[in-house]
Chain A
């Protein structure tokens, strides 16, 4: 158990809809990262937050947004969903703002299916 909690585990929704994925980081971790893993692609970095502030952006679509709240949990919002958004979405957390000597610890993901 990594200590990172993601909810829900599974989500099935229709095209055009909006969903919210939730992540609670490990106790004491201030950084939260979101990754997407599709069947035909590897783990793709989406976005990073540190203590409530956005730190880095990857290949995150404009239809997607995220935030980190004062209690350090984070939410990833996906809107106007398309079939191609079906994927596993992972959250990770770490102690530090920048990595280096600070491992990321991953949750077990939310499996999103868009029909």
Chain B
């Protein structure tokens, strides 16, 4: 079962920052937070992951609260091409069957 809770959908204006929240209140100490997105019917695209520190790469920033019970994915300047379903996943040192995708958040970037 998915161990995360995300809003079903969100809108964001083009050019503005998109902040996608995720609750993972039962996260364990050795579990990472992963973010993926799926554009239309393409394969899920890896965005970023982190354990406890904030992370940034060329695509996005990941902010994890100090108690690690929630996180926020930030797309700093959303474009129309960022319209997608965004998945937040928590994952420890387990085999693949524990990499569980929930329903995610459908982000619509509006012109």
Query: Contact residues of A with B, CB < 8 Å?
Result: 2, 4, 31, 33, 35, 42-43, 45, 47-48, 55-58, 88, 90, 92, 97-101, 103-109, 111
Contacts and interface: CB of A to CB of B under 8 A. Distances in A.
Contacts, number: 76
Contact of A109 (B43, B95, B96): B43
A38 B96 CA distance: 19
Interface residues of B, number: 26
Contacts of B32: 99-101
Interface string B27-48: 0001010101000011111100
A99 B91 contact: yes
Nearest to B46: A103
- Interface SS majority for chain B: loop
Interface of B: 30, 32, 34, 36, 41-46, 49, 51, 91-104
Contacts of A111: 41
Contacts of A58: 96-97
